[in-house]
């Protein structure tokens, strides 16, 4: 099925400042997400950051669309700033660290990604069973 990547995603709330009439960062926070990516991604490991970065942007875009539906008059939005990733080791996979991370506004903290970079959220209790 592929490899599991742990990713720390730094993001900010871009808040509309009425005095400046522009969006400004409101501090940096970090999300801890886990991605099961296809083995084909490791053929060109130098591009994993780029591929995973595009998936992270897609997740933020999808969350933004959901927020706009819920609060259409809210001009603020979440913006990813940085991504740090690493492949989990076998002992880490056995420990299932994704079970201790709770989602807040995102659909999950665990995602399965296909060869084309499409993602689907997965319940953390089921993530480890995907082999």
pLDDT per position as a tens digit, 94-130: 999 999 998 888 889 999 999 999 999 999 999 988 7
5: phi > 0 → left, psi -120 to 50 → alpha, else beta; which?
Answer: beta
Return the number of other C-beta atoms located less than 10 Å from residue 109's C-beta: 23
pLDDT score of 104:
86
How far is 131 from 108, CA to CA, in rounded Å? 19
pLDDT score of 89:
92
- Contact present, 56 and 41 (Cβ < 8 Å): no
Q: What is the pLDDT of residues 10-45, one digit of tens each?
A: 999 999 999 999 999 999 999 999 999 998 887 766
């Amino acid at each position: 099925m592929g490899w599991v990547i742990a990713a720390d995603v730094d993001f900010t709330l871009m808040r509309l400042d009425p005095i400046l009439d522009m969006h400004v960062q409101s501090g940096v926070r970090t999300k801890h997400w886990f991605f099961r990516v296809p083995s084909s991604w490791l053929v060109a490991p130098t591009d994993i950051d780029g591929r995973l970065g595009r998936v992270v942007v897609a997740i933020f875009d999808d969350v933004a669309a959901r927020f706009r539906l819920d609060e259409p008059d809210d001009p603020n939005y979440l913006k990813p700033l940085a991504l740090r990733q690493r492949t989990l080791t076998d002992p880490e996979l056995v420990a299932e660290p994704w079970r201790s991370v709770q989602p807040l506004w995102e659909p999950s903290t665990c995602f399965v990604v296909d060869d084309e970079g499409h993602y689907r959220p997965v319940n953390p209790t089921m993530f480890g069973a995907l082999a």
